[in-house]
A = this chain, B = another copy of it.
């Protein structure tokens, strides 16, 4: 038997006589969610990687990085990523894939994709359904959510944040030096100092545990050294490219609803018996942003 669980929610024999009803737990909130609380992710925004035989799914965020998302779609169409590899794994930071020959005559062709894509570090906040999170944040004057993504804002501009699982466009010094052929994924504590300094184009919604356990590279900044083989990316496909029968359907929990507010509340105020005090606070990158895969309708 294993009783020394961490953060277990334990149901005791019933509330004390003077108890007020506890607000619902996260699980209860999600169970009570209605169909309209969920929003389908467009198939063209689902990037499905085969990483050494395991599936990793990225949800692109074209509202924040339209040019980078479009270029990545072109690279996928060119099959640029098929056979590429993860060449960097830096503890508490990122994994990254790239063509190790990039810049040399042996480099893969980008085909019809652009070699230079202007940086999309921030965008106007106007036009976004920004749902604020009541929280203090070390890095951004305001934080909240847009279409299921964690966002920072100064009121005028908005940007995707580097929470766990964020996917960004590696670049050199020039702001247009990233084109999406090399992407990185945050696998540790959010490196929020990168926010608004680089293009974030989406986040991993399936298979983080495939990326996060990749052995760390022994070279500088976690790059694999001589003799450390890259982790192969066997293929990269958009869901929209797949035959309908094989196409996964993903839903994201809307972040502009009372259901989402209740979910945040359940994580902000911890009423499970385990908690010695109910916390009363939540950080941006600690808010769950649920996604779920649904079986295709059989009709």
Query: Is the beta-carbon distance between B172 and A103 smaller than 8 angstroms?
Result: no
Q: How large is the interface on A (under 10, 10 to 19, 20 to 34, 35 or more residues)?
A: 35 or more
Question: 1/0 per position for A78-115, CB-CB distance to B under 8 A?
Answer: 00000000010001101010101111100000000000
The docked-state distance in angstroms from the alpha carbon of A137 to that of B281 is 10
Question: Does A189 contact B276, Cβ atoms closer than 8 Å?
Answer: no
Interface of A is mostly: loop
Flag whether A35 is at the interface (Cβ < 8 A): no
**A100 contacts B6, CB within 8 Å?**
no
Shortest C-beta distance, A227 to chain B (Å), equals 16
Copies of this protein chain in the complex: 2
- A189 lies within 8 A of B286 (CB): yes
Q: Chain B contacts of A7 at CB under 8 A?
A: 194, 221
B contact residues around A277 at 8 Å (CB): 196-197
Interface check A64, CB cutoff 8 A: no
Among A124-132, A205-213, A240-248, the stretch that binds chain B is: A205-213
Q: Is the CB of B213 within 8 A of A172?
A: no
Cβ-closest 4 pairs across A and B:
A138-B283, A4-B182, A1-B103, A209-B216
